[in-house]
Amino acid sequence: MTVIRQVILAGALGSAALGPAAAQEQLGKISFPNSGSAEVQPHFIRGVLLLHNFHYDQAAEAFRQAQQTDPGFALAYWGEALTYTHQVWNQQDLAAGRAALARLAPTTAARLAKAATPRERMYLASAEALYGEGSKPRRDTRAYATLAANWHAADAGLPALAEARAGAGSSDAR
């Protein structure tokens, strides 16, 4: 066994031996301001941390718990949708991502209307692009371009432009 494999195995076994509470501590800490209720925050933040640590199944469950706690919290559906795209491995469960978004509302416009803040609409618009029409490479490019354009517009003090771009090119034919 190579030294690298031994180190990886030792780290994995060490984390497993620490138990779930210690493993959660190892996820890191983030600040993610959002419109969700105080009750939804532990589930949502845990979902984001798990997502960014590549624990997709556990992240999806945390986001679903957030949805149950606050069914109108749009970012809980955004987060779950993101768990179905694994960029590192170029994998995507298109149907599951679309289904997660559809549980928030049946159309892109209705989902974007449920986002409580312009910032949350930007995030949701990127997921709409990621699970929109076209090939996966085209959807991936459009998702990142949508997010980047909206952040740039918001940073430049152009919220109306950001909101217009968030809805641009979206299709409700899903």
Taking the domains of the chain in order of start, what are their residue ranges?
Answer: 38-167
Q: Is the pLDDT of residue 145 over 90?
A: no
CATH class, domain 38-167, is mainly alpha
Picking from 32-36, 89-93, 141-145, 147-151, which range would have the lowest pLDDT averaged per residue?
147-151
Predicted model pTM: 0.74
Q: How confident is the model at residue 149 (pLDDT cuts 50, 70, 90)?
A: confident
Picking from 79-83, 86-90, 149-153, 169-173, which range would have the lowest pLDDT averaged per residue?
169-173
Q: β-strands 85-86, 91-92: how paired? A: antiparallel
Q: Point out which residues pair with 91 in neighbouring strands.
A: 86
Closest alpha carbon to 76 in 28, 25, 24, 111: 111
Instruction: Say what the pLDDT of residue 156 is.
Output: 57
Instruction: Say what the pLDDT of residue 136 is.
Output: 87
